[in-house]
Amino acid sequence: MGQEEMAKIAEAVNILGNFCGPRDIDKLTTAALEDKYHIPRVDVAVLFGGSILAGGEVFAEIMKKQLAEKYIIVGGAGHTTETLQRKMAACLGRKVPSDACEAELFNEYLQEKNGLAADYLEKESTNCGNNITFLLSLLEKEKLPHDSVLMVQDATMQRRMEAGWRHHAGAGLVVNYAAYKVKVTGSEKGLVYEEEPAGMWNMDRYVDLLMGDAQRLQDTPDGYGPKGKNFIAHVNMPFEVKEAFRYLQKFYGVRKANPAYAKP
């Protein structure tokens, strides 16, 4: 494949990455929340366990800056858990239990690396859909206000998580802050990251996750929106994002949902 083609592929991947992984504020500061939303902090900050390791450090920053009243980590075992266990073991320099769920792993990271701990762990959810429904059940059980929520998820899944919240929770403020932002460039060896965040997916996996979510975010019979499986609220997908997805379909497939983690 020529260098010009690789550059086009890289551009398309970056378009998908920027769309799937929004950050609604530029910085994690009280000033940023006050400037945009006129609040000094949110009711709840949530880290979703589908994230790479970098999400743990982002969440630690949110906690240190006291940007929320309560802090929750969500995640049982899903299609990204095995990778997280392996990366977390390398990061912590020790074995982690093979049955440790995502929420437990990230809480251990917070404790060992930052001396912090979440207020609540949701340990049963297995996919983006019940990440949200189980989180809502926890919030209702503990009678926690959640009119404003700051969400940290893997950049490949951030927008879908927010759309899932809008579908199930309806009203309320969601502040997106994807766990990382990366830029991909084309080289003679293929696609490479300009800078690689902690625990980052290998390139094939990253593109695979983006392609899967770009498909799911569409409000079509094949998507997860109201006109499809009705798992998420409608998402406005710009023309350039749809075109980038179509272009990448020439070179990549679309990830299917793993039925092992598909329970509601």
- Residue at which a domain ends, from 133, 156, 176: 176
206-260 per-position pLDDT tens digit: 999 999 999 999 999 999 999 999 999 999 999 999 999 999 999 997 756 554 4
Do 60 and 85 share a domain, yes or no?
yes
**Looking at the 3D structure of the chain, how many domains does it have?**
2
Do 168 and 189 share a domain, yes or no?
no
> Does residue 261 have a pLDDT over 50?
no
Do 148 and 66 share a domain, yes or no?
yes
Do 15 and 37 share a domain, yes or no?
no
Do 198 and 152 share a domain, yes or no?
no
Range of the domain at 210: 3-21+183-257
Question: Quick one: tokens of 180?
Answer: 């990382």
Q: What is the pLDDT of residue 4?
A: 87
Do 132 and 58 share a domain, yes or no?
yes
Q: What is the pLDDT of residue 29?
A: 99
127 assigned to some structural domain: yes
57 assigned to some structural domain: yes
Concatenated DSSP letters for 111-164?
A: HHHHS---SEEE----SHHHHHHHHHHHHHHTT---SEEEEE--TTTHHHHHHH
The answer to whether 180 and 165 are in contact (CB under 8 A) is no
CATH label of the domain that carries residue 92: 3.40.50.620
Task: Tell me whether strands 120-122 and 68-74 are parallel, antiparallel or unpaired.
Answer: parallel
- Residue at which a domain ends, from 149, 176, 203: 176
Q: What is the pLDDT of residue 21?
A: 99
Q: What is the chain's length?
A: 264
CATH label of the domain that carries residue 224: 1.10.3620.10
Do 43 and 166 share a domain, yes or no?
yes
The mean pLDDT of the chain is 94
d(CA 50, CA 81): 7
193-205 per-position pLDDT tens digit: 999 999 999 999 9
56 assigned to some structural domain: yes
d(CA 259, CA 262): 5
Q: What is the pLDDT of residue 78?
A: 83
Residues 3-22 have a mean pLDDT of 96
The answer to whether 156 and 51 are in contact (CB under 8 A) is no
Question: Quick one: tokens of 58?
Answer: 């982002």
Task: For residue 103, name the pLDDT band (cuts at 50, 70, 90).
Answer: very high
Give the position of tokens 């049982």: 76
d(CA 203, CA 112): 29
Question: Quick one: tokens of 138?
Answer: 């926890």
263 assigned to some structural domain: no
Tell how far CA 252 is from the center of its chain. 21
